[in-house]
Structures are given as structure tokens and as C-alpha cells.
């Protein structure tokens, strides 16, 4: 081959290589752009998780406070949250309602929000925390395909949006989890992620993790405000044995037993469960042991928390119709009856509201000086005929 033909061939080969390289660079830029678009979309979703639900308190609200009022190190952290305090004109007992301990149990924080937006206290004092685990509301449970939000229509037909969060506090507020979680002060050992479970952190620790400090501040509310009765609101999977239950500390067992009987005679399936003595970190056990309050936890049945659930979307949160659970119920495999029409939010919130009312009434009968009397809260039938949204502003 002549010299000039050789150099022409080399130039042609170079052209092919540079065209291939350009093509490769183009592909890299294209994929980088795709990644950037995906990151922006996901980043928007993550930021959206940090938007707080708006609550419009009732005109009868006496005052609001932040949880950091009871532990200043929570100020400006994601552990800080709002409390709503309603005082009656007549002296009486003090009730603390804890909502949103587990932000993936929507009937809990929705019940608390409905109370804040409607409550009028005549006697005694009611303190409501709608989002006790504020950090958990800023995350979504990984690998559960939960909807990020759900919306209820209020009486004006406007949407009221609520977050579906994570059972645990946001990993960013406690990273990394230890391999084993050692509960303070009992020394009980649980798996590492339970470090971020508010209902395994009581009575909490002043200088502990964010979750321990939140639990400590809530226990401080009970001590400083001389709370007589604590009710912590939850939901659990229909296959979980402690369901549709009132779980009561030993010193609350008298009123809880009377309440369970009264609720059953009214046709509600409410079971009574004693707070396990050796299971530490739970609100009913530790607040009951470490303060003077009677401590109770209530569980309603939510398909969202279960392992057998089908499509997981807003409808499952609100209407909670699930054919898998219905079938399991027909086969007698569940701890509760799961009808074809589901267990809608009205039923779950209605159960919580009815349980709270009956427990307060019974406390007043046992100890009249600790009476807690309030009104403007819909009863179970009203809630079921109008829907939860009707009672939100
Ligand atoms: Zn729970």
C-alpha cells in the first residue's frame, strides 16, 4: 500500500473512532439527564414528605404549646411537635391524648385532629398531641408502597390532606441504627430499628436519641401537667391478636374493664388486654409505672398495617376494602371480622372517639373530682353517616 493510501486509511479509522466516541458521549449525557430528571422528581417527593398537615383548632382552644416546652433540646429539631390544650371552666381531671405515635396508622392522628378541630371542654383539661412522632411523618415506610398522602373532603367539599408516614422516626434523625437496641432504663434488648420506635422508648431519656427525648418530653407533660389519664391511639393489622383492644396498665384496669363491658353492651367489639409487665418501652407500661397517670392504649384494625393486604393506595386508607382480608376473615384466619365492605376510616376513628368518651365517663363516675366533660364531638353514628371529613374545617 502506498504511503498516501495508508494515511487516508488511518484518517478514516480516526473518523470512525471519534464518531463512535461522540455517540458514546451522547449516550452518557442522555443517561445522566435521565438520572437528573429522576432525582429531581424523587427529590420533590422527599421534600413533599416534610410538609406538615394543617390543623385548624376549635374556637374553644385555650392554648397551644410545642413539645420543646417540656424539653428544650427538642427545639428546632424534627422531634418537636404541637400540643393543643383545652381547659374547661370547671375544675376536673386532665386527659392526654397521644395521636401519631406510629404515623402509618392514620386513624390515630386523624382522630386527634378531629378532636382538636371540634373539642369544647366543659370540665377538666384535655391535651391533644396529633403528631407525637413528628419525625416519622417526614418519612415513608420503605418497601411498603404506601401512598404518601390521603385526602378527605370537608363539609365545603374541599380536600383536607393527611400524611401517611413511617412507623419509625426518620432514619436521617437517628442514623445509623445500632445492631441491637437497648431500652433505657430496663436494658431490654430489641432489634436495631426499634431505636426509632416511639412506643418502645418510654419513659425516655433527657440526653438520649431523638426518639428517647420525644418520649421523655411526653412523660414530662404527664408529670408537670399532673395528667390523670393517658390514651395512646393506634391501629394494627387484622391478623394481629391484640386488636380492637383496650390495653391497660394495672392501675387503669378498673376503668378499662368497666369501659370494655359498657362498649360491648353497646355492640362494639372491644377486648381488654393487660399491659404486659415485662415488655418495656410501651406508653401504657412505662407512663403507668413512672407517673401517677392511668395509662391506656387503644388499637383499631387497619388493613394498611397488614401483611395480607392487596393494592395499597388512598382507598385502602380511607375505605379499607380489601378482598384478601375479607377472604382471610371468611376462612377464620383473622383476629377480627373483616367484612366485604371493609373497615372504613369512619369506623376506626369512631371506635377511638367512642372509647375515649366512655373511658372519661367512667373515670368521672369512679372519681368525680377527676371528671373530664367535653362536647361538640360527633358520636359513632353521626360520624358514620356524615364521614370524617364532614367534621374537619
Ligand atoms: Zn401503633
Cα(21) to centroid(ligand 1), Å: 56
Asked if residue 220 has pLDDT above 80, the reply is yes
In Å, what is the CA distance from 190 to each residue of 177, 283, 290, 344, 380?
12, 16, 21, 33, 38
Q: Are 233 and 107 in contact (CB under 8 A)?
A: yes
Q: How confident is the model at residue 48 (pLDDT cuts 50, 70, 90)?
A: confident
- Asked, for residue 49, whether it belongs to a domain, the answer is no
Q: Are residues 7 and 102 in the same domain?
A: no
Over range 294-314, report the average pLDDT. Answer: 93
Over range 296-300, report the average pLDDT. Answer: 96
Q: How confident is the model at residue 230 (pLDDT cuts 50, 70, 90)?
A: very high
Q: Are residues 347 and 386 in the same domain?
A: yes
Cα(47) to centroid(ligand 1), Å: 25
Cα(164) to centroid(ligand 1), Å: 13
- Asked, for residue 280, whether it belongs to a domain, the answer is yes
For position 11, what pLDDT does the model report? 75
Q: Are residues 244 and 192 in the same domain?
A: yes
- Asked, for residue 45, whether it belongs to a domain, the answer is no
Average pLDDT, the chain: 94
Q: What is the pLDDT of residues 98-132, one digit of tens each?
A: 999 999 999 999 999 999 999 999 999 999 999 99
What residues make up the domain containing 7? Answer: 1-40
DSSP-assigned letters across all residues of 45-86? HHHHHTPPPP----TT--EEEEGGGT-GGGTTSTT--EEEEE
- Asked, for residue 227, whether it belongs to a domain, the answer is yes
- Asked, for residue 50, whether it belongs to a domain, the answer is no
Cα(105) to centroid(ligand 1), Å: 6
Q: Are residues 27 and 65 in the same domain?
A: no
Buried b (16+ CB within 10 A) or exposed e, 144-162: eebbebbebebeeeeebeb
Cα(111) to centroid(ligand 1), Å: 14
Q: Are residues 76 and 30 in the same domain?
A: no
Cα(235) to centroid(ligand 1), Å: 5
Q: How confident is the model at residue 330 (pLDDT cuts 50, 70, 90)?
A: very high
Distance CA 229, CA 222 (A): 9
Q: Are residues 26 and 163 in the same domain?
A: no
Q: How confident is the model at residue 184 (pLDDT cuts 50, 70, 90)?
A: very high
Rounded to the nearest 10 degrees, the angle between the axes of helix 283-290 and helix 210-224 is: 50
- Asked, for residue 352, whether it belongs to a domain, the answer is yes
Q: How far apart are the first and last CA of the chain?
A: 89
Asked if residue 152 has pLDDT above 80, the reply is yes
Q: Are residues 348 and 233 in the same domain?
A: yes
Q: Are residues 11 and 69 in the same domain?
A: no
Q: Are residues 91 and 6 in the same domain?
A: no
Cα(268) to centroid(ligand 1), Å: 20
- Asked, for residue 22, whether it belongs to a domain, the answer is yes
Q: What is the pLDDT of residues 352-366, one digit of tens each?
A: 999 999 999 999 999
Q: What is the pLDDT of residues 53-83, one digit of tens each?
A: 889 999 999 999 999 999 999 999 999 999 9
Q: Are residues 7 and 136 in the same domain?
A: no
Overall domain count for the chain = 2
Cα(117) to centroid(ligand 1), Å: 23
Q: Are residues 176 and 292 in the same domain?
A: yes
Cα(72) to centroid(ligand 1), Å: 26
The pTM for the full model equals 0.91
Distance CA 380, CA 359 (A): 15
CATH of the domain at 211: 3.40.630
Cα(233) to centroid(ligand 1), Å: 7
Residues with CB under 5 A from ligand 1 (ion): 102, 105, 234
- Asked, for residue 56, whether it belongs to a domain, the answer is no
Cα(16) to centroid(ligand 1), Å: 64
For position 2, what pLDDT does the model report? 66
Over range 329-355, report the average pLDDT. Answer: 94
Q: How confident is the model at residue 235 (pLDDT cuts 50, 70, 90)?
A: very high
Q: Are residues 6 and 117 in the same domain?
A: no
Q: What is the dihedral of CA 335, 341, 346, 349, to 10 degrees?
A: 10
Cα(236) to centroid(ligand 1), Å: 6
Amino acid at each position: 500500500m502506498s504511503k498516501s493510501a495508508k494515511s487516508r486509511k488511518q484518517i478514516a479509522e480516526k473518523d470512525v473512532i471519534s464518531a463512535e466516541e461522540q455517540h458514546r458521549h451522547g449516550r452518557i449525557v442522555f443517561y445522566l439527564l435521565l438520572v437528573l430528571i429522576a432525582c429531581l422528581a424523587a427529590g420533590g417527593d422527599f421534600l413533599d414528605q416534610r410538609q406538615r398537615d394543617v390543623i385548624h383548632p376549635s374556637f374553644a382552644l385555650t392554648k397551644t404549646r410545642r413539645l420543646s416546652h417540656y424539653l428544650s433540646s427538642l427545639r428546632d429539631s424534627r422531634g418537636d411537635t404541637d400540643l393543643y390544650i383545652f381547659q374547661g371552666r370547671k375544675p376536673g381531671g386532665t386527659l392526654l391524648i397521644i395521636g401519631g405515635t406510629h404515623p402509618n396508622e392514620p386513624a390515630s392522628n386523624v382522630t386527634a385532629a378531629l378532636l382538636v378541630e371540634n373539642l369544647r371542654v366543659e370540665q377538666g383539661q384535655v391535651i391533644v398531641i396529633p403528631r407525637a412522632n413528628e419525625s416519622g411523618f417526614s418519612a415513608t415506610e420503605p418497601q411498603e408502597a404506601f401512598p404518601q398522602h390521603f385526602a378527605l373532603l370537608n363539609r365545603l367539599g374541599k380536600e383536607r390532606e393527611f400524611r401517611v408516614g413511617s412507623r419509625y422516626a426518620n432514619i436521617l434523625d437517628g442514623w445509623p441504627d445500632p445492631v441491637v437496641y437497648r431500652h433505657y432504663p430496663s436494658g431490654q434488648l430489641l432489634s436495631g430499628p426499634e431505636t426509632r420506635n416511639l412506643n418502645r422508648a418510654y419513659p425516655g431519656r433527657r440526653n438520649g436519641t431523638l426518639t428517647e427525648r420525644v418520649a421523655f418530653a411526653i412523660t414530662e407533660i404527664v408529670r408537670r401537667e399532673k395528667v390523670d389519664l393517658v390514651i395512646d391511639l393506634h391501629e394494627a393489622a387484622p391478623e394481629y391478636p391484640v386488636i380492637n383492644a383496650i390495653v391497660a396498665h394495672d392501675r387503669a384496669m378498673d376503668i378499662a374493664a368497666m369501659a370494655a363491658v359498657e362498649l360491648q353492651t353497646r355492640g362494639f367489639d372491644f377486648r381488654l388486654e393487660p399491659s404486659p409487665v415485662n415488655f418495656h418501652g410501651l406508653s401504657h407500661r412505662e407512663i403507668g409505672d413512672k407517673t401517677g397517670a392511668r395509662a391506656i392504649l387503644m388499637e383499631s384494625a387497619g388493613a394498611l398495617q397488614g401483611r395480607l393486604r392487596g393494592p395499597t393506595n388512598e382507598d385502602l386508607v380511607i375505605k379499607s376494602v380489601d378482598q384478601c382480608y375479607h377472604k382471610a376473615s371468611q376462612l377464620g384466619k383473622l383476629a377480627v371480622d373483616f367484612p366485604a365492605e371493609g373497615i372504613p376510616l369512619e369506623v376506626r376513628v369512631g371506635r377511638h372517639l367512642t372509647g375515649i368518651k366512655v373511658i372519661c365517663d367512667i373515670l368521672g363516675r369512679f372519681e368525680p373530682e377527676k371528671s373530664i366533660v367535653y362536647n361538640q364531638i360527633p358520636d359513632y353514628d353521626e360520624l358514620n353517616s356524615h364521614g370524617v371529613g364532614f367534621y374537619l374545617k
